[in-house]
């Protein structure tokens, strides 16, 4: 079956394309290239440039490529920006999803895998977050992912669409330099950018209720995230549906600890600078991915140092 991957020229999307094509799954990519790069895609993968807000465009792509399954990754994802521009995030992430789902149902698409986020949990009341932990997002970004999950699951139940929602935790690293994260929204590239400029890395608040006062997150290698997509997509194609999975490692690392590790690996040991908290940042979010590892032949293979090392090597390669 042919899979449509929206946002497939992006950081995570290109890794999903790599994983699925190497496993023999035919894919076509839709991307508006607002943050994606077509050079990330294998030459044999068709790229359709356009927006999920464009229904006529989607209808044509689904028809011409005989799409049977969709992996939806295209979305705005910066928490701070979502606080400043909530209408943009609701339009891109919720309205865009509604238009895509409507097109999928009309085209008779059978499977739909939705890229969600750990941000749906907000500040969880437990040490480890399971898929049954109550959803309480703290930012418009998290709200759009929560609403997206509701819409996807309701659509699946109403129209017989096999659906899955994958709640990523903090994605990092790269499988190869050409697919590296070139944005500065995630912690590791943000720290790299500061270090390369000879500036101290920034810590956004050190007064959180955590052991060292900085936010604690669960980091997962992007290659492991991509393999989870492949496993879940194949599960959907086999007839399963209404699935919800955390994608994480179950290991919390604080921002201060991450910056220290980055300094050791890169050789740039500049002490961090403390600045104000960012709106929408919960103190601690750490996953348990037991459900995914029990249901499917998947487990994470990369540790945090390998995430940092792969990202740093990619940065040196691409920037000379």
Whether residue 157 sits in one domain with residue 115: yes
Is residue 190 located within the same domain as residue 105?
Answer: no
In this structure, the answer to whether residues 160 and 293 fall within a common structural domain is no
> Which CATH number does the domain housing residue 30 bear?
3.40.50.720
| Token pair of 115 as six digits | 């890229």
Q: Is 159 a catalytic residue?
A: no
89, 141, 168, 208: the active-site residue: 141
In a shared domain, residues 202 and 107: no
The alpha carbon of residue 130 and the mean position of all alpha carbons in its chain are separated, in whole angstroms, by 18
Q: Residues 198-252: pLDDT tens digits?
A: 999 999 999 999 999 999 999 999 999 999 999 999 999 999 999 999 999 999 9
123 and 237 in a single domain? The answer is yes
Q: Are 70 and 149 members of one domain?
A: yes
Residues 200, 103, single domain; the answer is: no
- Mean pLDDT score across all residues of the chain: 95
**Average pLDDT for residues 185-194, to the nearest whole number?**
89
Q: With contact defined as beta carbons under 8 Å apart, do 62 and 28 qualify?
A: no
Q: Look at residue 320 in the predicted model and tell me its pLDDT.
A: 56
pLDDT for residue 169 is more than 90? yes
Q: What are the Cα distances from residue 241, in Å, to 30, 139, 163, 188, 244?
A: 24, 28, 5, 34, 9
Please check whether residues 137 and 276 belong to one and the same domain.
no
Q: What is the pLDDT of residues 106-127, one digit of tens each?
A: 999 999 999 999 999 998 988 8
Domain containing residue 154: 2-171+219-247
CB 65 within 8 A of CB 19: no
Q: Is the pLDDT of residue 307 over 60?
A: yes
CATH number for 184: 3.90.25.10
Tens of pLDDT, residues 20-66: 999 999 999 999 999 999 999 999 999 999 999 999 999 999 999 99
Count of domains for the chain: 2
In this structure, the answer to whether residues 237 and 308 fall within a common structural domain is no
Task: Round to whole Å and give the CA distance between 307 and 141.
Answer: 25
Give percent of the chain above pLDDT 70: 99
Cα angle 75, 77, 78 (rounded to 5 degrees) comes to 150
Of 4-13, 51-60, 159-168, 311-320, least confident by mean pLDDT is: 311-320
Residue 64 shares a structural domain with residue 108: yes
Per-residue model confidence (pLDDT) at position 213: 97
Locate 319 and state its tokens.
Answer: 């920037």
Q: Is the pLDDT of residue 100 over 80?
A: yes
141 plus 190 within the same structural domain: no
Q: Which tens digits make up the pLDDT trace of 252-277?
A: 999 999 999 999 999 987 899 999 99
Report the percentage of the chain scoring pLDDT > 90: 88
DSSP secondary structure of the chain: -EEEEETTTSHHHHHHHHHHHHTT--EEEEE--SS--GGGS-TTS-EEE--TT-HHHHHHHHHHTTEEEEEE------HHHHHH-HHHHIIIIIIHHHHHHHHHHHHT--EEEEEEEGGGG-S-SSSSB-TTSPP--SSHHHHHHHHHHHHHHHHHHHHT-EEEEEEE-EEE--SSGGG---SSSSHHHHHHHHHHTT-PPEEE-S-SSSTTSS-EEEEEEHHHHHHHHHHHHHHHHTT--SEEEEES-S-EEEHHHHHHHHHHHHS--PPPEEEPPPTT--SEE-B--HHHHHHSS------HHHHHHHHHHHHHHHH-
Tokens matching residue 192: 């790299």
Q: What is the per-residue pLDDT for 183?
A: 77
- Are residues 18 and 146 part of one domain? yes
What pLDDT, on the 0 to 100 scale, is given for residue 126?
87
- The per-residue pLDDT for 141 is 95
Name the nearest CA neighbour of 157 among 220, 112, 206. Answer: 112
pLDDT for the residue numbered 71: 98
């Amino acid at each position: 079956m042919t899979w449509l991957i929206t946002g497939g020229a992006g950081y995570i999307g290109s890794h999903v394309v790599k994983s699925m094509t190497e496993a023999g799954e035919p894919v076509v990519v839709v991307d508006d290239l607002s943050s994606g790069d077509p050079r990330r895609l294998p030459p044999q993968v068709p790229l359709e440039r356009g927006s999920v807000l464009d229904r006529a465009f989607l209808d044509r792509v689904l028809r011409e490529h005989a799409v049977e399954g969709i992996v939806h990754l295209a979305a705005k994802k910066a928490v701070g920006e979502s606080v400043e521009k909530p209408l943009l995030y609701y339009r891109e992430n919720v309205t865009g999803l509604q238009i895509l789902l409507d097109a999928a149902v009309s085209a008779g698409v059978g499977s739909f895998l939705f890229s969600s986020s750990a941000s749906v949990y907000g500040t969880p009341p437990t040490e480890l977050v399971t898929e049954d932990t109550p959803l309480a997002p703290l930012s418009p970004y998290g709200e759009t992912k929560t609403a997206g999950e509701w819409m996807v699951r309701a659509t699946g139940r109403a129209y017989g669409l096999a659906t899955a929602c994958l709640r990523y935790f903090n994605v990092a690293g790269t499988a190869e330099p050409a697919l590296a994260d070139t944005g500065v929204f995630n912690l590791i590239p943000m720290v790299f950018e500061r270090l390369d400029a000879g500036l101290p890395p920034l810590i956004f608040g050190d007064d959180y209720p955590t052991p060292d006062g900085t936010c604690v997150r669960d980091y997962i290698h992007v290659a492991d995230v991509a393999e989870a997509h492949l496993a879940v997509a194949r599960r959907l194609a086999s007839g399963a549906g209404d699935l919800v999975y955390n994608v994480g490692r179950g290991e919390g690392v604080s921002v201060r600890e991450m910056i220290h590790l980055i300094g050791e690996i890169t050789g740039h040991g500049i002490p961090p600078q403390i600045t104000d908290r960012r709106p929408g940042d919960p103190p601690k979010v750490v996953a348990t991915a037991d459900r995914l590892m029990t249901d499917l032949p998947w487990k994470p293979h990369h540790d945090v140092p390998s995430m940092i090392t792969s990202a740093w090597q990619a940065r040196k390669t691409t920037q000379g």
